[in-house]
């Protein structure tokens, strides 16, 4: 029986680790934050929330942080939870990213970012088109020329489902270059890593993925990044041209940011925004950010809302054209 | 290349032998096997729980700890599979098939000991392969295309006859089909359309494999202990399960020796492929072993065969070491657990990839050498404890049943933190209970489920790539090779009985072929 009691103690400890720590309602000055993560441990949302939380805690900007993983329904479960318990969630921030826009457009969940209080975007990863080191393609223009000649000769792989982010970005680029995005053959993989393996094995010739995900192998000379969807070239990769440089007017940022419960008092929301702003100047944040290859993208409040509306418009029109929404 | 390897190994040994790192290997293995033993808690939970501990450690030390937790959890995972038919994670489902019957027959100590020896050998053989061939194996990992994965999944399905159990082949096939059907629930990757979600948010991401495994194995087991009031389900006499039953005879070692060797090699190669993983490794090792066994021995599979226990245990441990090849050499995670570990590597500022060998040799080689040490630790740590674990079966069933139920439900909940999963488990459990009472075997359901998703995705990808033509099935040499192997395995029993009939002139083998 000794062992069973031991097991029980461990399990209770595990449960205690997982349980959310209650947060108090401090107005104005933020001392602690409870983060809700709509996905499981180890994912992108998880990394962002825990990274931000760690930077805030280590730099002394916050006294306490707690985290709650709540996966299900492609993030819809957590969204629903935050909205339905809004009154007691004043100390809570929900981490999210571009998929919230895509999924509310396709009707995966009925809510959208408008049902929450946008706090700020924090970081971004730009999309990139990647080829193997020995690929015949040297520039984005060559791909577009081939596509216009024979769309079936250009197959693009990616780590999201059809109609997901990795599909929409090349579709937008093709449209911007004057091609027909409906003719694009998109090869879906169930994760970015598997899609990268597909590129390396010669399954696909071109990969649409996050810039951060491709950077590691690009630095080691295994793959080449042909174009990035940022506005200007990035300081950490000055040799990678932007899509805009090819005369295609497409930019795309897969942002990650935070939302508060609906009806959050403006003063409280502003306190969160100020807190996050302060974080950027701390060495603790810089260390975490540079290690993970994140790009800072701080857009507070109204600026964030405008950005989200624009992104929703761009993604929405692309999805309509591809027939994913009516 | 060999010079580099030896200096690398020396770096690795000197990294591993730092007292701090030895302590971390020990701590990681201990925590891993402890968490892994709990039903429902597997390596992904164990590694995720340990990540906060690794903050602030030196990168090599941190990775040594995480790796220890990972293979420790796989090592420990067999314990709950064998003792209470509750696999802690997907890769140990196949272990329960023969391990649990063996334990129920009064040999829990022997079953655990064989699992420990098989795990140790599988782990050690694969670490040696990792050490010698890691850089070359990276190219194996990137030689498999969607077409080849599809062929590999078909090959995997041929293992189904191995899981037929009592109900016979027809029932096994029906369960495979059910498994394939369940695999289609969720968002369809290739078209982005939702299938069989009934408009529910909760089913959008499909059904979790571990959830299905726990519901069909552990929960139904707990319920049938209640239903069956005969002695076979009662708790065992504590006196019967002492140190003696732990002994594995020389003859038995000879019997499982070749099994372990074969299964380790197969498991390792499956593990190297980023699109396969340890679960497939264990299932395929089991299937291969049964296909190779003589007709008389085949009958023992599923009823406590030693070979049937050793094969998946060697296979899943070898596969988990194999999955370090794509992780370290390419930065590509093949499973959820290695994805979490990739996150940890990146957080340390280490870029996994072909250059990791030269850029951070102390992490690369330190990790590999520590895995060798870790396997020895695990064996030393676990063998003396087996008699105590085995006593778990002496717990009266009125305590045992609620414990199984509690740990199984909790284990699944702790992965996703989604209460709907618990409801889904209960529903699956009721359905599985009904099927079980009608003698439908559960293992083919799980095999169909795990292969179904992979099979469909890879087939549809291959069709897109080859412009909707099936020509890849014979045009790609690798795909063709796998297909021919499948064909050979399917025809092998026929061939064998044909030869046997020519020899004896009788038709006594017909029944075996059908079974």
Report the pLDDT averaged over residues B78-85.
87
What is the structure's pLDDT at A21?
41
What residues of chain B lie within 8 A of the CB of A41, using their CB?
44-45, 48, 340
Q: Report how far residue A92's alpha carbon sits from residue A65's, in angstroms, rounded to the nearest whole number.
A: 10
Closest residue by Cα to residue B168 from B302, B305, B307: B302
Please check whether residue A26 touches B, CB under 8 A: no
Most confidently modeled range among B9-13, B141-145, B174-178, B297-301: B174-178
pLDDT at A20: 44
| Mutation for testing the A interface, residue in B139, B238, B465, B478 having most A CBs under 10 Å | B465
The two tokens of residue B344 are 């940890």
Which residues of B fall within a CB distance of 8 Å from A76?
Answer: 201, 204
Q: Over range B254-273, report the average pLDDT.
A: 92
Interface contact flag, A72 B146, Cβ < 8 Å: no
Question: Cα–Cα distances in Å, from B498 out to B168, B296, B298, B491, B506?
Answer: 22, 17, 18, 10, 10
User: Which of A17-21, B19-23, B108-112, B161-165 is least confident?
Assistant: A17-21
| A72, closest residue in chain B (CA to CA) | B202
Contact residues, chain A, for B387 at CB < 8 Å: none
- Confirm if B329 and B354 have CB atoms less than 8 A apart: yes
- Cβ–Cβ under 8 Å, residues B109 and B386: yes
Q: What is the pLDDT of residue B244?
A: 53
| Set of chain B residues whose Cβ sits within 8 Å of the Cβ of A161 | 187-190, 192
Predicted local distance difference test score (pLDDT) of residue A19: 46
> Using CA atoms, how far apart are residues A267 and A269, in angstroms rounded to an integer?
5
The CATH class of A28-124+254-322 is alpha beta
**pLDDT (0 to 100) of residue A11:** 53
Counting one residue from chain A and one from chain B, the pairs whose CB atoms sit within 8 A come to 168
Burial of B207 (0-12, 13-18, 19+ CB in 10 A): buried
Cβ atoms of A97 and A44 closer than 8 Å: yes
C-alpha closest to that of B95 among B105, B104, B85: B85
Instruction: Output the six-digit token pair for B331.
Output: 């930065």
CA A190 to chain B, closest CA, distance in angstroms equals: 7
**Angle at CA of residue B291, ends B286 and B292, nearest 5°:** 100
The pLDDT value given to residue B389:
81
Does A17 contact B49 at a Cβ distance shorter than 8 Å? Answer: yes
For residue B508, what are its two tokens? 């006594």
CA distance B324 to B192: 31
The alpha-carbon gap from B33 to the nearest alpha carbon of chain A, in Å, equals: 12
Closest-CA distance, B442 to chain A, in angstroms, reads: 26
* Contact check, Cβ <8 Å, A219/B414: no
Find which of B35, B353, B388, B469 to mutate to test the A interface (most A CBs within 10 Å of its CB). Answer: B353
| Superfamily of structural domain A125-246 | Periplasmic binding protein-like II (3.40.190.10)
Task: Give the residues of chain A that fall short of pLDDT 50.
Answer: 1-3, 16, 18-27
CB-based contact B25:B370 (threshold 8 Å): yes
Q: Do A161 and B274 touch (CB under 8 A)?
A: no
Q: Could you tell me the residue ranges of all domains in chain B?
A: 2-475, 488-515
Residue B151 or B396, more confident: B151
Q: Which of B256, B286, B265 is nearest to B160 (CA)?
A: B286
pLDDT at A202: 92
**In chain A, whose CA is at the least distance from the CA of B192?**
A162
> Measured between beta carbons, which residues in chain A are less than 8 angstroms from residue B187?
74, 161
DSSP letter string over B113-162?
HHHHHHHHHHHHHHHHHHHHHHHHHHHHHTT--HHHHHHHHHHHHGGGGG
Which ipTM value was assigned to this complex?
0.82
Contact A10 B34 (CB under 8 A): yes
Question: Distances in Å between the alpha carbon of B384 and those of A6, B102, B108, B389, B494?
Answer: 17, 20, 14, 10, 46
pLDDT digits (tens, 9 = 90+) for B157-178: 877 766 665 557 788 889 999 9
- C-alpha distances in Å from residue A131, one per residue of A136, A139, A202, A218, B26: 9, 10, 10, 10, 42
CB contact under 8 Å between B354 and A220, yes or no, is: yes
The whole-angstrom distance between A211's CA and the closest CA on chain B is 14
Q: What is the distance in angstroms between the Cα of B162 and the nearest Cα belonging to chain A?
A: 29
pLDDT tens readout for residues B372-384: 889 999 999 888 8
Chain A partners within 8 Å of B343 (Cβ): 42, 47
Chain-centroid distance of CA A50 in Å reads 14
Give kind and range of the element (H or E) at residue B415.
helix B397-416
pLDDT tens per residue, range B402-454: 888 888 888 788 776 778 889 999 999 999 999 989 988 888 898 889 888 88
| pLDDT, mean of residues B231-249 | 60
Q: How far is CA B370 from the centre of its chain?
A: 22
User: B472 or B8: whose pLDDT is higher?
Assistant: B472
User: Do residues B63 and B345 touch, judged by C-beta distance below 8 A?
Assistant: yes
- Per-residue pLDDT, B276: 76
Does the pLDDT of residue B295 top 90, yes or no? Answer: no
Residue B389: its chain A contacts at CB < 8 A?
A: 3
A201 interfacial to chain B (CB closer than 8 Å): yes
Asked if A322 is an interface residue toward chain B (Cβ–Cβ < 8 A), one would say no
Question: CA B348, B72, B371: angle at the middle one, nearest 5?
Answer: 60
In whole angstroms, give the CA distance from residue B49 to residue A104. Answer: 32
Instruction: Sort out which chain A residues have CB atoms less than 8 A from B37's CB and list them.
Output: 7
The contacts of residue B441 (CB under 8 Å, 6+ apart) are: B163, B164, B165, B166, B167, B171, B172, B175
pLDDT value for B466:
92
Given an 8 Å threshold on Cβ–Cβ distance, is B388 in contact with A292? no
Res A156: pLDDT: 96
pLDDT at A9: 55
CA distance B158 to B282: 14
Residue A185 forms contact with B (CB below 8 Å): yes
Q: What does the block give as tokens for B175?
A: 């369960």
Q: Is A2 on the interface with B (CB under 8 A)?
A: yes
DSSP single-letter state for residue B375 = H
Nearest to A190 among B38, B414, B457 (CB): B457
Contact A63, A29 (CB under 8 A): no
- A7 in contact with chain B, both atoms CB, cutoff 8 A: yes
């Amino acid at each position: 029986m000794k062992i069973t009691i031991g097991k029980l103690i461990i399990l209770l400890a595990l449960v205690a680790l997982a349980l959310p720590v209650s947060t108090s309602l401090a107005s104005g000055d933020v001392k602690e934050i409870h983060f809700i993560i709509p996905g499981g441990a180890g994912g992108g949302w998880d990394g962002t929330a825990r990274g931000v939380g760690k930077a805030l805690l280590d730099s002394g900007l916050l006294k306490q942080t707690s985290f709650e993983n709540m996966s299900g329904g492609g993030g819809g479960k957590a969204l629903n939870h935050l909205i339905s318990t809004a009154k007691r969630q004043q100390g809570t921030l929900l981490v999210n990213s571009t998929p919230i826009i895509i999924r509310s457009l396709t009707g995966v969940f009925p809510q959208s970012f408008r049902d929450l209080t946008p706090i700020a975007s924090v970081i971004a990863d730009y999309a990139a088109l990647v080829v193997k080191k020995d690929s015949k393609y040297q520039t984005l223009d060559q791909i577009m020329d081939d596509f216009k000649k024979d769309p079936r000769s250009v197959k693009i792989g990616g780590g999201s489902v059809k109609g997901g982010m990795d599909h929409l970005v090349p579709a937008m680029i093709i449209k911007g270059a004057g091609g027909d995005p409906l003719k694009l053959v998109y090869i879906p993989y169930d994760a970015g890593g598997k899609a990268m393996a597909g590129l390396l094995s010669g399954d696909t010739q071109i990969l649409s993925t996050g810039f951060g995900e491709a950077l590691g192998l690009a630095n080691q000379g295994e793959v080449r990044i042909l174009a990035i969807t940022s506005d200007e070239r990035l300081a950490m990769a000055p040799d990678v041209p932007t899509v805009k440089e090819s005369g295609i007017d497409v930019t795309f940022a897969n942002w990650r940011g935070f939302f508060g419960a609906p009806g959050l008092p403006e003063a409280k929301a502003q306190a969160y925004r100020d807190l996050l702003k302060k974080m950027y100047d701390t060495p603790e944040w810089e260390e975490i950010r540079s290690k993970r290859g994140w790009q800072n993208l701080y857009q507070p409040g109204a600026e964030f809302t405008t950005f989200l509306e624009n992104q929703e418009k761009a993604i929405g029109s692309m999805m309509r054209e591809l027939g994913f929404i009516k | 290349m060999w010079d580099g390897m030896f200096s690398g190994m020396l770096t690795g040994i000197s990294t591993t032998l730092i007292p701090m790192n030895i302590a971390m290997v020990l701590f990681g293995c201990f925590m891993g096997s402890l968490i892994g033993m709990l039903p429902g808690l597997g390596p992904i939970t164990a590694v995720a729980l340990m990540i906060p501990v690794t903050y602030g450690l030196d990168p090599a030390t941190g990775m040594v700890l995480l790796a220890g937790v990972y293979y420790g959890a796989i090592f420990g995972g067999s314990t709950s599979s064998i003792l209470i038919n509750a696999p802690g994670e997907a890769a140990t489902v196949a272990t329960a098939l023969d391990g649990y019957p063996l334990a129920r027959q009064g040999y829990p100590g022997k079953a655990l000991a064989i699992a420990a020896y098989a795990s140790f050998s599988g782990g050690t053989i694969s670490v040696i392969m990792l050490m010698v061939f890691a850089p070359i194996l990276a190219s194996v990992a990137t030689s498999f295309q969607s077409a080849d994965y599809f062929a590999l999944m078909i090959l995997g399905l041929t293992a189904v006859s191995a899981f037929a159990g009592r109900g016979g082949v027809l029932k096994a096939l029906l369960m495979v089909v059910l498994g394939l059907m369940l695999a289609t629930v969720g968002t369809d990757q290739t078209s982005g359309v939702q299938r069989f979600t009934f408009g529910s948010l909760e089913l959008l991401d499909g059904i979790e494999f571990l959830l299905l495994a726990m519901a069909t194995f552990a929960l139904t087991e707990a319920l049938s202990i209640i239903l069956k009031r005969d002695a076979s389900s009662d708790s065992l006499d504590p006196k019967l399960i002492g140190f003696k039953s732990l002994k594995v005879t020389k003859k038995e070692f000879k019997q499982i020796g070749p099994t372990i060797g074969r299964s380790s090699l197969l498991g390792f190669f499956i593990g190297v492929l980023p699109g396969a993983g340890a679960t497939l490794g264990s299932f395929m090792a089991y299937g291969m072993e049964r296909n190779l066994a003589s007709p008389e021995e085949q009958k023992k599979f599923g009823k406590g065969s030693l070979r049937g226990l050793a094969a998946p245990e060697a296979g899943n441990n070898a596969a988990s070491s194999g999955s370090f090849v794509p992780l370290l050499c390419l930065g590509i995670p093949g499973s959820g657990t290695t994805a979490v570990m990739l996150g940890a590597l990146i957080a340390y500022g280490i870029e996994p990839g072909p250059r990791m060998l030269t850029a951070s040799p102390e992490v690369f080689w330190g990790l590999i050498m520590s895995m060798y040490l870790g396997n020895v630790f695990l064996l030393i740590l676990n063998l003396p404890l087996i008699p105590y674990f085995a006593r778990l079966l002496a717990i009266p069933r009125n305590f045992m049943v609620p414990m199984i139920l509690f740990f199984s439900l909790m284990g699944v909940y702790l992965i996703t933190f989604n209460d709907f999963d618990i409801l889904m488990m209960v529903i699956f459990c009721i359905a599985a209970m009904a099927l079980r009472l009608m003698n439908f075997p559960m293992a083919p359901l799980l095999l169909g489920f795990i292969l179904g998703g992979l099979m469909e995705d890879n087939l549809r990808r291959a069709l897109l790539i080859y412009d909707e033509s099936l020509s890849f099935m014979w045009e790609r040499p690798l795909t063709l090779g796998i297909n021919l192997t499948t064909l050979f395995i399917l025809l092998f029993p026929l061939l064998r009985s044909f030869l046997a009939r020519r020899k004896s002139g009788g038709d006594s083998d017909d029944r075996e072929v059908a079974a």
